[in-house]
Amino acid sequence: MNELKGRIALISGAASGIGRASALLFARHGAAVAIADLDVATGPAIAGQIESEGGRAIFVPVDVSCAVDCRRAVEDTVTAFGRVDILFNNAGIIHRATVVDASEAEWDRVISVNLKSVFLLSKYAIPVMAGSGGGTIINTASGWGLIGGRKAASYCASKGAVVLLTKAMALDHAPQNIRVNCICPGDTDTPMLRQEADQLGRPIGTFLAEAAHRPLGRIGTPEDIAQAALFLASPASAFVTGIALVVDGGGLAG
């Protein structure tokens, strides 16, 4: 349980879902964690839970689409812990609509939160990592960043871009000993998945049952995805960079 002992992790979208599960898991494996999120009610509680379990954590309120907030999130992490070793760009939203039905504002918001945030947080974290000898960046993409999905045009566009941004960053920053990878989750039982059912006007039970139609016969849990993130954050993946790791219960297998 010490794969990340002494490491410093900054995780966006860490107040719920995959981000929350990853923050708790990283802390239990020895990392100090900066909880970055807009949720000023839940975020501090996650940091408090980590500290109650003997770990180190801070809460950093951040709008990941805002450059000033992203720079401050990195600066606050460095002030609290001295550096940033792991950046997990996990914050994300979804708007279920075609390009005809989506408004320009809805399109822009999805692209800003899902894609621009990866650019901004990485922009400010990479110089810090390089100055301390390297680090690792993990980006949350999606299975729908590799194949298309119906009524999710802005989401698919943003996640497909995250996959290729990950590869470009891996090439650019390997000389600085910075590894960059992304995770492509399948349907995972998070608040965002349940919001999809609401957006589509579907009964939640039916929606989740249909999402479980994959070889392993279930949807993912936040903890499933957190374990993949732990692998990419840890020395176990020391020779891994530029990959899109699919974690979807076999949904894209065939």
Which residues are known catalytic residues? Answer: 155
Q: Which residues share a beta bridge with 8? A: 32
Tell me the three state secondary structure of residue 247: strand
**For residues 242 and 181, what is the distance between their CA atoms, to the nearest angstrom?**
5
**For residues 9 and 36, what is the distance between their CA atoms, to the nearest angstrom?**
10
Give kind and range of the element (H or E) at residue 166: helix 153-173
Interacting residues of 209 by C-beta distance below 8 A, sequence separation 6+: none
| 170 neighbors 234 (Cβ within 8 angstroms) | no
Q: Which residues share a beta bridge with 33? A: 9, 57
Tokens in use for 125?
């974290």
Interacting residues of 66 by C-beta distance below 8 A, sequence separation 6+: 120
**For residues 23 and 107, what is the distance between their CA atoms, to the nearest angstrom?**
29
Tell me the three state secondary structure of residue 176: helix
| 80 neighbors 47 (Cβ within 8 angstroms) | no
Strand 244-247 to 178-185 pairing: parallel
**For residues 208 and 36, what is the distance between their CA atoms, to the nearest angstrom?**
28
